[in-house]
Amino acid sequence: MIVQQTWSYALAHLPDLALATRQHIALSASALGIALLACVPLGIWTAHAPAGRSIVAVVTGLRVVPSLAVLAFMLPITGVGYASALVALTLLACPPILINTDVAFRGVEPAVIEAANGMGMRGAQVLRRIEYPLALPVMIAGLRTSTIEVIASATLAAFIGGGGLGTLILDGLANNDM
């Protein structure tokens, strides 16, 4: 009975569902893209810089802040709408990417880097040909974690006018006669 009602609703409201899904995907993908562009270089820097550990420690501490709190925190700063949701979701996407990138590059064996230097590789070559490929699996794990958090939190972005599938959920809750 419930499955039949769900399919009936989905077929009757297919354009609304398609629009909300596109908004949800666009918001999530944009936030992840911005976070990747910002946090991968920052994570590489923190792994190689002495001050990097303190930055990673602060970012690690920020991971305990709930998604809804980050979204609510953005309201007075950026207002209501897509941009506010994008900024909040980007902030939520950053910690896993930054932390895993830092851990990945710190985990590359110094002996491997020393061997690359001994073969004549320098700086950017070592980073591109040795460190980056060895760090990639851990970095991808951070991206996977971040993707899950962003997609789930994008549903909550409807509370601040971010659109997406959360809008349909909020509309359904508002129309529910209990």
Domain count within the chain = 1
DSSP for the chain, please give it.
-HHHHHHHHHHHTHHHHHHHHHHHHHHHHHHHHHHHHHHHHHHHHHHHSTTHHHHHHHHHHHTTS-HHHHHHHHHHHH-SSHHHHHHHHHHHHHHHHHHHHHHHHHTS-HHHHHHHHHTT--HHHHIIIIIHHHHHHHHHHHHHHHHHHHHHHHHHGGGGT--SHHHHHHHHHHH---
Query: Which of 3, 115, 102 minimizes the C-alpha distance to 53?
Result: 102
Nearest alpha carbon to residue 127 among 37, 32, 47, 34: 47
What's 109's domain CATH number? Answer: 1.10.3720.10
In terms of pLDDT, which residue wins out, 36 or 12? 36
Question: Which range of residues forms the domain containing residue 139?
Answer: 2-175
Q: In the predicted model, is pLDDT for residue 36 greater than 90?
A: yes
The model's pLDDT over 53-110, given as tens digits with 9 standing for 90+, comes to 999 999 998 888 888 888 888 888 888 889 999 999 999 999 999 999 999 999 999 9
pLDDT reported for residue 177: 53
Q: What is the pLDDT of residues 122-131, one digit of tens each?
A: 989 999 999 9
What does pTM read for this prediction? Answer: 0.89
Rounded to whole angstroms, the Cα distance separating 152 from 150 reads: 5
As a whole number, mean pLDDT of residues 109-133 equals: 94
Residue 178 has pLDDT above 50, yes or no: no
